[in-house]
Structure 1
């Protein structure tokens, strides 16, 4: 996969998140601050613009995206997404191409960083409910087709996000609502699933 091809996937991912702004706001309005849709649109726009403007290799592109998110204000999602992207760029190659093993290393690096920061596990009803299975699907992929890799990740993320309907919120403002949160998916998991859905678009 070339830097350009990776950039296109990232831009599709950002467009997927931005298109879901109203849905994310509606979900977050039930037990949160009703700002997740707006925050994720800001993050997605920042990533998309940084990727488009970047003129280096894969590592430079991901570093530019991480820096763009770091400069944003508002929302607990900002530092989490910055950490994820920063972990990715640390594991990324400096050149203009990356193979399957390299893609796996990039996403493993991103996951390791955010996992260390977040501490949330599957069942805690956070963005990690989508990211953990998606990262696992990427790590477990044994083929040679990046499209199949991203499709598997998107499917795992979507299933993880849907599963959050069954859980009680254990983080953030929603935590205070306890079992009332059962039946509503986690906005952070849903936005992460949309991001992976976009990544699966070549």
Structure 2
């Protein structure tokens, strides 16, 4: 089972729909110690992704990702646009004009996503940011031997665990940093949306691969 354009389309459609469904949840989390606009910004990105998916015709997977990157980088709403545009754009790092993505290439895409984002932020695991979901997800993907679907499942599970772990962390970046220990007991909004991203990738692929069985 390889990831082709149809599967990739389903993956990002699921991401967009999950983000859309969780706008209020993300807003509520971010309103506690952040600017309160994360849900709104993620909502803008979800609509943008759905629009680009609708217009996707002959572009390669790599070119489609680069189009998303350009559009998301310009989304207004604090640092989320640059961060998520960079994260998504990094997926294209190992790609040229491949029509299918195998397990090895998928791992390279996730590694590219992380390395590009690490050029933009110094945050790491334990800082209560989106990196608490992204770094474990990429590590899990790279260490999983199996099909692309198994890799996506491992990444999704690791991102979800990383999100849960943020409840026991003190924020070290952004506006939330000023609240110190008060941020204990609350999930990080960025880790939540990143976890949803990996859930979407997995669920979207699962829907398509099930039709092949």
> TM-score, length-normalised on structure 2?
0.91
Within the alignment, does 1:109 sit opposite 2:132 as a pair?
Answer: no
In structure 1, the gaps of 5 or more residues are none
Within 5 A, what are the aligned runs for 1:45-84? Answer: 45-55=47-57, 56-84=59-87
Tell me the distance in 2 between the aligned counterparts of 1:151 and 1:114.
Answer: 22
Flag as ranges the 4+ runs of structure 1 deviating above 4 A. none
1:1-202 counterparts in 2 under 5 A? 1-55=3-57, 56-143=59-146, 145-201=147-203, 202=206
Tell me the number of residue pairs that the alignment of Structure 1 and Structure 2 aligns.
Answer: 201
- Give the Cα separation in 1 of the matches to 2:41 and 2:31: 13
* Distance (whole Å) between structure 1 residues aligned to residue 27 and residue 170 of structure 2: 19
C-alpha deviation, 1:126, in angstroms: 0.2
What whole-Å deviation, never above 9, does each CA across 1:117-160 have from its counterpart, x for those lacking one? 111110100000000000111111111x2221111111000000
User: Scaled by the length of structure 1, what TM-score is found?
Assistant: 0.95
Cα distance in structure 2, aligned partners of 1:47 and 1:68: 9
Aligned counterpart, 2:209: none
CA distance in 2, matches of 1:66, 1:82: 5
Q: Work out the CA distance in 2 between the residues paired with 1:71 and 1:105.
A: 26
- Residue 92 of structure 1 aligns to a residue in which SS? coil
Measured in 2, the distance between the counterparts of 1:188 and 1:40 equals 10
Contact 1:51 1:65 (C-alpha < 8 Å) held by counterparts? no
Alpha carbons 1:54, 1:60 under 8 Å: kept: no
Unaligned residue ranges in structure 2 (runs of 5+):
207-213
**Aligned partners of 1:194 and 1:42: how far apart in 2?**
15
SS for the counterpart of 1:117 is coil
Which 10-residue stretch deviates more, 186-195 or 82-91?
A: 82-91
For the 8 Å contact 2:152–2:198, the answer to whether it is kept is: yes
Q: Does structure 1 conserve the Cα–Cα contact (< 8 Å) formed by 2:38 and 2:77?
A: no
Measure how far apart 1:106 and its partner are.
Answer: 1.1
- SS for the counterpart of 1:200 is helix
